[in-house]
A and B are shown apart, each in its own frame.
Chain A
Amino acid sequence: MVPEFGQMALIVALVLAGLQTVIPLVGVQARREWLMAYARPLATGQAVFLMASLLALTYAFVVDDFSVAYVAANSNSQLPTPYKVSAVWGAHEGSLLLWVTMLGWWGLAVAWFSRSLPLDMVARVLSIMGMVSVGFILFTVQTSNPFERHLPTAPMDGADLNPLLQDFGLIVHPPTLYMGYVGLSVVFAFALAALMGGRLDAAWARWSRPWTTAAWIFLTMGIALGSWWAYYELGWGGWWFWDPVENASLMPWLVATALMHSLAVTEKRGLFKSWTVLLAIFAFSLSLLGTFLVRSGVLTSVHAFASDPERGVFILALLGICVCGSLLLYAIKAPTVASVGRYEWVSRESFLLMNNLVLLVSAFAILLGTLYPLVIDFMGLGKLSVGAAWFNTMFVPLSVLLALIIGMGSMSRWKSDGLSRLGNELRWAFLAALVLAVAAPFIANGEWNWQVVMGLGVAFWLVAATLVDLWKKSRGRLKRIPTLGMSYMGMIIAHLGVAVSIIGVTMVSNYSLETSVKIAPGESAVLGNYRFEFAEFGHIEGPNFTSDATRFNVWRDEKLMEVLTAEKRRYNVSGQVMTEAAIDVSLLRDVYISMGEPLADGAWGMRLQVKPYMRWVWLGAIFMCIGGGLAVMDKRYRARQTRKVALSNEAVA
């Protein structure tokens, strides 16, 4: 009964979304306020019914209702309850339901937090979000119904959740990432609504900023969680693979980052309007593209969902309507909203424009690398996959350039600035970064190479330039820092986060040690100044798996540092074998042990790694999220004086 209720709720949500698309928009056209006023309650109702539907599916998982085909394929009675819940989004159908439910939540958030917006704007925004909802709920109901029954013969037990997914990482990573993807629909809706109304002003930019930042925070967190999860769960110690699915999340992130910055220019200076709108369209389009690539089977990836041409066609049509429709609207309407205002070659506007270009070029390079195999195949030139080498060659120099720009950009003034002034302010920061970077490999006791010097150099530069800026703005008084405003502090912390991540990436890519050894109990292997002693071998019984386990004593400079247990699990139901790496985590390095294959005489093939500064890669992401959070909380976004804002902007322009 409950699954049928879930399906009904989904269909009701579809109907509400349809009404939400039509009624408010008719209201706007006919200038009928009472029709526009339907937008909020309809969005609320849609969110409630989507939530009910998601809960119904979750219930089916928790009570082991294997008569539901999706539950039977992705769960099992032995599965621990938390994983039964996360199995809801363990495969295509359920994750799509989660996706649309989150779309409902964002609509709900817009409905609740848009009191300061003019009603016709709210009506347009929610109508556009309703349109996106209609598309995706229809997609779910038509091609990917998670409530379909296995009748009349229901299996006794389920096929089990993919063991890869039986992990804390799966509980948190996809929902966070989806929140980010879907959150971009809000900015997209705002941009289209502004285009339709011909009102691309500072007020529009101000409304869009916190929403963009919120979606961006989720996206950042989702990507970082995914990388962290891959690192500890997949057992080979990698944290970024340039897999098409990873790329699918990185592209919207890069464009959303550009969008956050160009929105700042649009709000403060009334410039880049048309460009900002285009970025808002691109950011959401790329998150839809990601959905398409993952779910259509067009590309081969380690974590793409099962391919199904019918789904591919449907989602391609959705993508086509959504992206082409908005770009057409853009092409027609953008000329009416041309920006006025001037800025010099050396100015904050210029630096932000450069930042935008670099970010966009990066996103484009990744898009190219991701789609290239498809193009080659299409031209009949054979099949290939683009490896990490391409992405690194493109991405590394662009990141260096970006870091250099951030350092100067956040220091620069609006409208007009001088290179000599910037040089004066920043030359010590530059020199200090250079000296430190050249010396760093000696301090870290590592091999001297230019990649390290370059990577650390830009990170130090970023830190130094940010601190100089903080020093100047607070005029050297720590007490004044809190008065500089949440947005400013957010920016400082986020930029420091970029530096922290760059340090992590540089160190771990250049100074990781690893070895694969054949080792028997009692024997030792040496790696750097670590000695790994194979202490014992045993078996562990888990709730739904049994595992072979190896215990290692890790000695550093002949002092016992840690006892680590790596496992190889065999899941009872599926029979799949999973490697559970043992990781000793610390701020300056990770020690990583994973089990390979059993060899003769009780020996095992083992993979031993020491990864310096691994945590910094994700620590930087945490900084960025905190920075974003501070920016969202800035009280000026909560002010209701929208009219004043618009007026003051005209004065500036």
Chain B
Amino acid sequence: MTRWLLFIPLAVTLAMGVLFWIGLGKEDKDALPSPLVGQPFPSFEAKALLSGEAISAASLPAKPMLVNVWATWCPTCKAEHAFLNQLAKQGITIVGINYKDDDAKAREWLKAYGDPYDFNISDPDGKLGLELGVYGAPETFLVDSQGTIRGKHIGDLNTRVWQKLQPQFEAMK
């Protein structure tokens, strides 16, 4: 038998290895396309977490913002919280969606770790989360001043991720 045939499995494996190597390097690998990008923020009726006022999509501020889905039960949310505080200090508007959580616990959390949010939408049953196609917390949406969703990031926000998102965020201004 021609001996080079025996090297085919090795060659195929190497090709696959290259593919994985590139796959690993991709930053946005967990981002399946969100069908919501380019769509207006879904309409909702809910209560604000702290004030208890009724709020709806009309309550969203008329400027570019981050909409951050979080919960006290989510360890990664705790990890990203410090960075959100930092972003808020830089003057970035962040609206929170407190997802499938207990209001009292969420309030305690904000008291304990600081509150980077303009306001928080309380979403105890995950209804709004469902509309937004949330897989799990944390997730962050980029929403422009007209209330149109421009992008989505799954997983925690940190310096590295923000370097990538910031240009897009600036462009929305």
Contact = CB atoms under 8 A, between A and B. Distances in A.
Interface of A: 73, 159-160, 274, 278, 281-282, 285, 292, 296-298, 300, 306-307, 309, 312-313, 316, 319-320, 323-324, 327-328, 330-331, 334-335, 338, 371, 374-375, 377-378, 382-383, 385, 573-577, 597
Tell me which of B16, B72, B101, B155 has the highest count of chain A C-beta atoms within 10 A of its own C-beta: B16
A82 B90 CA distance: 47
B10 interface: yes
B19 A375 contact: yes
Given A335-B3, A574-B73, A575-B73, A307 B19 contact: no
B102 A575 contact: yes
Shortest beta-carbon contacts, A-B, top 5: A574-B73, A327-B10, A331-B6, A312-B24, A298-B23
A307 B32 contact: no
B31 interface: yes
Contact of A378 (B23, B32, B72): B23
Contacts of B10: 324, 327-328, 330-331
B8 to A, nearest CB: 9
Given A297-B29, A307-B30, A331-B7, A324 B20 contact: no
Contacts, number: 90
Contacts of A292: 20
Given A160-B73, A575-B100, A327 B105 contact: no
Interface of B: 1, 3, 6-7, 9-10, 13-14, 16-17, 19-26, 29-33, 71-73, 75-76, 100-102, 105, 125-126, 155
A328 B25 CA distance: 26
Contact of B13 (A160, A327, A383): A327
Given A374-B23, A378-B23, A330 B73 contact: no
A316 B21 contact: yes
A539 B50 CA distance: 29
Contacts of A309: 24-25
Nearest to A73: B75
Given A309-B24, A375-B19, A385-B32, A159 B73 contact: yes
Contact of B9 (A313, A330, A371, A597): A330
Given A296-B24, A298-B24, A576-B100, A378 B13 contact: no
B24 A324 contact: no
13 contacts: A160-B73, A274-B6, A300-B30, A307-B29, A307-B30, A313-B24, A319-B17, A324-B10, A327-B9, A327-B13, A334-B6, A374-B23, A378-B22
Contacts of B31: 383
Contacts of B14: 324
Contacts of B32: 300, 383, 385
A298 B29 contact: yes
Given A383-B31, A577-B100, 9 more contacts: A73-B75, A307-B155, A316-B20, A320-B17, A331-B10, A377-B23, A378-B26, A574-B73, A597-B125
B15 to A, nearest CB: 10
B29 A159 contact: no
